Structure 1
Amino acid sequence: MIKPFFNRIPTIKGMIYVADEAQIIGSVHLDEGASVWYGAVIRADLNSIYIGKCTNIQEHAVLHPTTEKEVVVGDYVTIGHGAIIHACRVGTGSLIGMNATILDGAEIGDYSIVAAQTVVLTGSIIPPRSLVAGVPGKIIRTLSEEEVENLKIHNSNYHELAKKSLPQVIGGEK
């Protein structure tokens, strides 16, 4: 379901893919090729949420801003099942693992991996190409070239799956 929240209205650039049970509410800005999967909630009632090109928001993920901080998710990002993205920034090509939580004001650098169930604390700055894991999240190491390429392949595969699988195509033909 795509719906406004008072005067905050979702905007869509190009064609996106949305599952029937997904909720896109308020000042959400979705770029070409983005996909929002079953049960995901993107609620931009207090501030804006920006979702980049070919980014996939998987089942039961929650994205929410605060009145002070918006959510910005770069291009070609994977937000894993059950992840919470709260008033933060996620860089291009990154993967946020299942049930991970990124808290207010945190910034995840481009082509980084935040492991499943990791909690990235408020205000944390994660450099590009980092592997982050744990509670609280700690930088484990820098990703290899091969791992960065695998992130690109993973995102491309999810984009193709969205084109074949998701029932609602908005902004164009499936």
Structure 2
Amino acid sequence: MALIKSIKGLTPKWGRECYFSENATIVGEVTMGDECSVWFNAVVRGDVAPITMGNAVNVQDGACIHVTNTTGPTVIGNNVSIGHNATVHACTIRDGALVGMGATLLDHCEVGEGAVVAAGALVLQGTKIGAHEIWGGVPAKFIKKTSPGQAESFGAHYVEYSKWYLEEDGNAENGNS
């Protein structure tokens, strides 16, 4: 079972058919929809400001989602993929977006619907990434428009993977909200 921790009276909440790896950590004012997954060594830390995720969000291995008390909240839409070892801090990610492996999103940036943040990219504070755009580099810059469904396709795989683990483990996190 994942480490699910309340702090200052704030307890994580989630919907149906969510999968949390045994060493994932979810703390504080975190709200997730249905079919979300938080994978090995990932941390979702809503201890000082809220983190809200829609349905079918996957937070992959080693990723960290956090805020600080003067910069929150973090808002993540539906069908979003947060890649391995990504850092997402006090920002907004719209439906269907993909945050690549090792990418960093800083305070008050916004990732548009169906957008892709390339692996290793650094999205600076306050940056606005438009819908269906690909951004990459340090600091991240616009590269090109996405192909239809390019970013959105990744999330469906993780809903499927999480179902394998839920069946194998028999430990579905079937909502607590």
The reply to whether TM is greater than 0.5 is yes
Residue 116 of structure 1 is aligned with which of 82, 102, 119? 119
Relative to total residues, which structure has the larger strand share, 1 or 2?
1
Deviation, 1:141, is 1.2
What secondary structure does 2:51 align onto?
strand
| Inter-partner Cα distance in structure 1 for 2:141 and 2:53 | 25
TM norm structure 2: 0.91
| Inter-partner Cα distance in structure 2 for 1:42 and 1:154 | 20
TM norm structure 1: 0.93
Residue 66 of structure 1 is aligned with which of 68, 76, 89? 68
Q: What is the Cα-based RMSD across aligned positions, in Å?
A: 1.2
Deviation, 1:51, is 1.3
| Inter-partner Cα distance in structure 2 for 1:98 and 1:14 | 26
Following superposition, which runs of at least 4 residues in structure 1 exceed 4 angstroms of deviation?
none
Deviation, 1:45, is 0.8
Deviation, 1:161, is 0.6
Matched, 1:20 2:22: yes
| Inter-partner Cα distance in structure 2 for 1:26 and 1:93 | 25
What secondary structure does 2:151 align onto?
helix
| Inter-partner Cα distance in structure 2 for 1:55 and 1:130 | 19
What secondary structure does 2:26 align onto?
strand
Question: What residue in structure 1 maps to residue 91 of structure 2?
Answer: 88
Matched, 1:134 2:145: no
8 Å CA contact 2:114–2:150 kept in 1: the answer is no
Matched, 1:39 2:41: yes
The percentage of counterpart residues that share the same residue type is 36
